Chains A and B, each alone.
Chain A
Amino acid sequence: MDSGERQLFEASLRQAVERGGLFDAVLNDVGWRDAVAEDPTVAASVFALQGELNLTSAALDDVVAVGLGVVPSAALAVALPAPGAAVPPAAGDGRTVAVSGLGTSRMLIAAEVFVVVQRDRMKALRVTADELDRRRISGLDSPGSWVEVSGSVEAVDVSDVDWDGGIAAARRAIAQELSAASRAMLRLARDHALVREQFGKPIGAFQAVRHRLADCLLAVESADATIAVAWADPSPFAATMAKAVAGRSAATVARNAQQVLAGIGFTAEHPFHRYLKRTMVLDQLFGTSASLTEAIGSDVLRSGKVPAVLPL
């Protein structure tokens, strides 16, 4: 897509969301799967909107499928690593392998599930969805967004798969959603600081509040700069950096925005908590910011080499 087509795509997506309806249905209507299969960077638009408006969808299945080298389909769910993990949801060299992972809401309605198995080389198989136990998770995030998937399946017809490509695709998309959600939290706090008055003036006039908000923007802009690199450079390293920085930035923004929003931001009726919870969940997917940071540092210390800098 060129930038004109991209703008058109984003505008039609936003209009459709504003008309109402499930985000998955909207994505279907705009031909999202064909678009991302042709140009993976289209995911930037979808995950930015998803993060900004606190939407949920099964778009992550499609992104990971494309990254793994598989044609995405509404009938194909992808078994994702369990929360906190960045390893495939299945392992083992035997004829049967144990699956334990996570799915989006698509896991409940898909006909087929794509499972990556950790072996000497990464392998993949497709199983009928009925062969797996699938349970909605009642966790932190909005109900119905995530599904726990487990079971034992026959490892027949395994094929090679680009696991690193799948992980990188997921990290880029999740980083984008994290940053958009962070910007939304900042907007909530900033707008609140302009209207909430204490001591006869808006709290946004106080330097203590202003500097917290400035730190939020600093965090979001740091994330966006690394994410922009990751969309332009398909390397796993760029995607890992983007996810690590975006996860850390989201925590910074959440902490400061929460404090600025104070009491009202602690209520269930205020939208802030939905963003906070969503970013906490996203940080758990495909490697937490803490674990990625440690892995990046370990690689550097093991090799004794600072990775080559981004060239001008």
Chain B
Amino acid sequence: MELAEFRAGLDRWLDDNEAALRPDPDKSATLDGQMAHTNTVKRLAFDAGWMRYGWPARVGGLGGSPLLRGYLGEALAARRLIEPGPYSLTEVLAPTMIDYAPAQLAAEMVPQLLRGEETWCQGFSEPGTGSNLGALTCRATRTENGWRINGQKVWTSYAQYADRCVLLSRTGTVESAHNGITALFVDMDSPGITVRPLQTMHDVAEFCEVFFDDVAVPADRLLGAEGQGWAVAMDILPFERSTALWHRGAYLHRRLQDLLDAAPDGSLSPRDVGAVLEQMYAFRARSRQTQYRLDAGERLGPETSIDKLMLGIAEQSLYDLVPAALGPAVVSAGDREGRAWRAEYLYSRAATIYGGSSEIQRNIVARRLLDLGPDR
């Protein structure tokens, strides 16, 4: 299916099914409600076919360009039918499974993610390795039937809801750094896994600590080859910085409109609004090129760090307008809208931290795009 046809058909379907797709405002005030609703929308969209486009047939997809996935997430986010964070995790994790999981495992698992029957998480960061991912220590030891995991992950988004985890583990020596990492697909109900949600400053248990205590993982849950985990991670990151960012950008456009609607007259300066719009426009222009490169089958790489930096800047500039325009509501309102703006403002402070901090992105730009050589 071509994009134009997809767009027209999807828009019509979204109009026709508004009632079923619209989140209940009371329920969606909690993360529990948001997670459940995101999966409901995915299921409805999957059953109607929309969620299957852009994915290959061997994982339950209907084929077609990844642009179709870009537009689906954009349309859902712009209409505020989903939360872009949990929704777009699919864009990060499904491609990894398609590229690296054994064919049978991918065919069995990916459709459950696409249809919203399952939630997955990404076990990357550790207490000692935030930016320095290559130093991770959560250990996987070979056993007769597979692997045994011991260690800890942290900042694992939505782990308390997750049925599966794409886990980066240490199989070589710590000195082997990037070469001694192995990616595994782990069932979150395995004995020995303890999930402890962390309360964030915006009052949502968005991410968790995950403890692994002699957790057994079958041999057929290996993603890629032993020692290839770094390559798996490096291939995930560009997905995190392409389709998922496009969805988030669409959500931010919608929120700028919501802010204009809510702001009292005269509370926003033309210069500030113009600057934010320019940043969001420039991001969208850039990310659009990235979507088309993905469509052309190009391999995305370090240049997507530019996209990530641009979105972080745009997102924080947008939410910087919120205290200026809605200050009293942000600091003291108890109503739903006030709480939402307050939470989103606070959450936006993390936009330059999560998914590879802006400092790491700048390091990548300097090393890989400007070819400045080693930094020490």
Q: Which residues of A contact B (CB under 8 A)?
A: 190, 193-194, 202, 204-207, 210-211, 213-215, 217-218, 221-223, 225-226, 228-229, 241, 244-245, 248, 290, 292-298, 300-301, 304-307, 309-310, 312
Interface pair B289/A225, CB less than 8 Å apart: yes
Interface pair B271/A312, CB less than 8 Å apart: no
A211 to B305, CA, bound (A): 13
Residues in B249-288 with C-beta less than 8 Å from chain A? 250, 253, 256-257, 260-261, 268-275, 277-279, 281-286, 288
Q: What are 9 of the A-B contact pairs (CB < 8 Å)?
A: A210-B372, A211-B362, A215-B362, A217-B306, A225-B285, A292-B274, A297-B273, A297-B277, A310-B284
Stretch at the interface among B329-337, B347-355, B363-371: B363-371
Interface size for B (C-beta < 8 A) is: 50
Q: Which residues of B contact A (CB under 8 A)?
A: 3, 7, 67, 70-71, 74, 246, 250, 253, 256-257, 260-261, 268-275, 277-279, 281-286, 288-289, 291, 306, 309-310, 359, 361-363, 365-367, 369-370, 372-376
Residues from chain A with Cβ under 8 Å of B362 in the complex: 210-211, 214-215
Residues from chain B with Cβ under 8 Å of A305 in the complex: 257, 260
- Which 9 pairs show the lowest CB-CB distances between chains A and B? A297-B274, A297-B270, A210-B366, A225-B285, A297-B273, A293-B274, A225-B286, A214-B365, A214-B362
Given contacts A211-B359, A226-B281, contact A297 B272 (CB under 8 A): yes
Residues from chain B with Cβ under 8 Å of A306 in the complex: 253, 256-257, 260, 277
In this complex, which of A193, A221, A223, A290 has the most chain B Cβ atoms within 10 angstroms of its Cβ?
A221
Closest to A296 in B: B274
A273 to B128, CA, bound (A): 46
A244 to B270, CA, bound (A): 14
A204 to B163, CA, bound (A): 45
Decide if the interface of chain A is mainly helix, strand, loop or mixed: helix
Interface pair B275/A312, CB less than 8 Å apart: no
Interface pair A194/B373, CB less than 8 Å apart: yes
Minimum C-beta distance from A178 to chain B (A): 14
Interface pair A245/B282, CB less than 8 Å apart: yes
A18 to B362, CA, bound (A): 35
**Other-chain residue from B71, B273, B291 in contact with A301 (beta carbon distance below 8 A):** B273
Interface pair B277/A312, CB less than 8 Å apart: no
In this complex, which of B7, B261, B281, B309 has the most chain A Cβ atoms within 10 angstroms of its Cβ?
B281
A296 to B275, CA, bound (A): 8
A263 to B261, CA, bound (A): 50
Interface pair A312/B289, CB less than 8 Å apart: no
Minimum C-beta distance from A41 to chain B (A): 16
Residues from chain A with Cβ under 8 Å of B67 in the complex: 312
A245 to B276, CA, bound (A): 11
Minimum C-beta distance from B148 to chain A (A): 39
Given A300-B273, A305-B257, A305-B260: 20 more A-B contacts, CB < 8 Å = A210-B363, A210-B370, A210-B372, A213-B366, A214-B361, A214-B363, A223-B282, A226-B285, A229-B285, A241-B281, A245-B281, A293-B274, A295-B274, A297-B273, A297-B274, A300-B270, A301-B270, A304-B260, A306-B260, A310-B281
Interface pair B309/A218, CB less than 8 Å apart: yes
Minimum C-beta distance from B360 to chain A (A): 11
Interface pair A300/B288, CB less than 8 Å apart: no
Interface pair A297/B275, CB less than 8 Å apart: yes
Given contacts A217-B370, A296-B278, contact A207 B363 (CB under 8 A): yes
A259 to B137, CA, bound (A): 40
Closest to B290 in A: A225
Minimum C-beta distance from B262 to chain A (A): 11
Interface pair B284/A297, CB less than 8 Å apart: no
Interface pair A218/B365, CB less than 8 Å apart: yes
**Other-chain residue from A204, A218, A226, A312 in contact with B372 (beta carbon distance below 8 A):** A204
Minimum C-beta distance from A169 to chain B (A): 19
**Other-chain residue from A202, A295, A309 in contact with B373 (beta carbon distance below 8 A):** A202
Minimum C-beta distance from B297 to chain A (A): 17
Residues from chain A with Cβ under 8 Å of B365 in the complex: 214, 217-218
Interface pair A298/B270, CB less than 8 Å apart: yes
Interface pair B269/A297, CB less than 8 Å apart: yes
Residues from chain B with Cβ under 8 Å of A244 in the complex: 274, 278
Closest to B267 in A: A301
In this complex, which of A215, A222, A241 has the most chain B Cβ atoms within 10 angstroms of its Cβ?
A222
Interface pair B3/A312, CB less than 8 Å apart: yes
**Other-chain residue from A218, A241, A293 in contact with B310 (beta carbon distance below 8 A):** A218
Interface pair A300/B372, CB less than 8 Å apart: no
**Other-chain residue from A222, A226, A300 in contact with B260 (beta carbon distance below 8 A):** A300
Interface pair B268/A301, CB less than 8 Å apart: yes
Minimum C-beta distance from B43 to chain A (A): 24
Residues from chain B with Cβ under 8 Å of A214 in the complex: 361-363, 365-366, 369-370
Interface pair A297/B271, CB less than 8 Å apart: yes
A245 to B277, CA, bound (A): 10
Interface pair B261/A304, CB less than 8 Å apart: yes
Interface pair B375/A294, CB less than 8 Å apart: no
Closest to B70 in A: A312
Interface pair B363/A248, CB less than 8 Å apart: no
Interface pair B278/A294, CB less than 8 Å apart: no
Interface pair B253/A294, CB less than 8 Å apart: no
